[in-house]
Amino acid sequence: MAAGALGRIRTETPALPEALRRVGETILADPAGAARSTIIALAEVSGSSPATVTRFCRVFGFGGYAELRVALATETGRAAQAHWDAGVGHEIGPTDPLDVAIGVMAAADSRLIQDTAAQLDPATVAAIADAVVAARRVLIFGVSTSGAVAGMLGGRLRRIRVPCWSHADAHEALADAALLAEGDVAIGISHQGRTREVLESLAEAGDRGALTVAVTSFARSPLAELADLVLTTASRETTFRLGGLAAVHSQLFVLDAVYVAIAQRTYERTNESFERTIRALESHRVERS
């Protein structure tokens, strides 16, 4: 949990009870200052108590404030060295020049990927990749924007001969989930982890004995609690990109990590698949001038 602490705090703080939320907001307002602060000082600034700060630490997987301080100091040090925070947090106004807007977008997306990578557990990615390689069927599903992400991963996996189905339609996802069995894999994608259709499909897949995987920004969401394995994504809402739209890049990133791990495990088959599909599509490309 030490890695990616700020990303998770940023994502989950708005949903916390008021006293804990104040602690999170105080940390996010000045992470470097919080890393230097004592528990008593942080409690005073946030209008809470040392006991509340300790409870906040435990919510995010830390034994106490000392562990959280170390994590904050490490992350803020890396961010300062890499200049990840340049432009982060700036809102895009209706009259801003396009080059300014592009710079703000680039800064926000760069930090989003860094936050997501920091909290990504390689052991979990490896376990999912191993299960997908061995599976008879792989089902990926989401609704709306998350459904489009499911379709992108499904297309990639099918191209390297993984028996994969992807759905954005709730009925199709639920019907295919009912056909899964032990040894199969079901991956449900939902930013908040509260989309009813995704929960129902993942529950059905789990009841049939499939390994269930959640991709969500909220590690304590119903979807995460339902799944066998969880991939958490960082999310930072910016101007014109709210909710699920803000999570697309991080969803694609964690699923791309799974895809790369699968391709590593099926290296020869993957390369042969690429060669065959490239040849099959060659006639549809215009000659270079």
Q: Tens digits of per-residue pLDDT, 188-204?
A: 999 999 999 999 999 99
What is the C-alpha radius of gyration for the chain, rounded to an integer number of angstroms? 21
Please give the domain boundaries of the chain with CATH numbers for all domains: 1-85 (1.10.10.10), 122-276 (3.40.50.10490)
pLDDT confidence tier of residue 283, bands split at 50, 70 and 90: confident
Q: Per-residue pLDDT for 85 more than 90?
A: no
Q: Which tokens in the block code for residue 67?
A: 């562990």
Closest C-alpha to 185, from 233, 128, 230:
128
Q: How far apart are CA 135 and CA 182, in angstroms?
A: 9
Q: Per-residue pLDDT for 84 more than 70?
A: no
Q: How far apart are CA 253 and CA 248, in angstroms?
A: 9
Q: How far apart are CA 8 and CA 16, in angstroms?
A: 12
Q: Per-residue pLDDT for 238 more than 70?
A: no
Q: Which long-range contacts (CB under 8 A, 24 or more apart) does 11-19 make?
A: 11/217, 11/218, 11/234, 11/235, 11/236, 12/60, 12/218, 12/219, 12/220, 15/218, 16/56, 16/59, 19/48, 19/52
What share of the chain in percent tops pLDDT 90? 62
pLDDT confidence tier of residue 108, bands split at 50, 70 and 90: confident
Give the Cβ contact number of residue 101 at 10 Å. Answer: 15
CB 159 within 8 A of CB 281: no
CB 230 within 8 A of CB 202: no
Greatest CA separation for the chain: 70
For the segment 252-275, the average pLDDT, to the nearest whole number, is: 96
CA quadruple 154, 157, 163, 169: dihedral, nearest 10: 0
- pTM for this structure? 0.75
Q: Per-residue pLDDT for 288 more than 60?
A: yes
Q: How far apart are CA 252 and CA 152, in angstroms?
A: 8
For the segment 73-85, the average pLDDT, to the nearest whole number, is: 62
Tell me the residue ranges of DSSP E strands in the chain. Answer: 138-142, 164-167, 185-189, 211-216, 229-232
For residue 153, the SS3 value is helix
Closest C-alpha to 140, from 205, 192, 81:
205
CB 160 within 8 A of CB 146: no
Q: Which of 68-82, 182-196, 233-247 holds the top average pLDDT?
A: 182-196
Identify residue 188 by its one-letter amino acid code: G
Q: Per-residue pLDDT for 178 more than 70?
A: yes
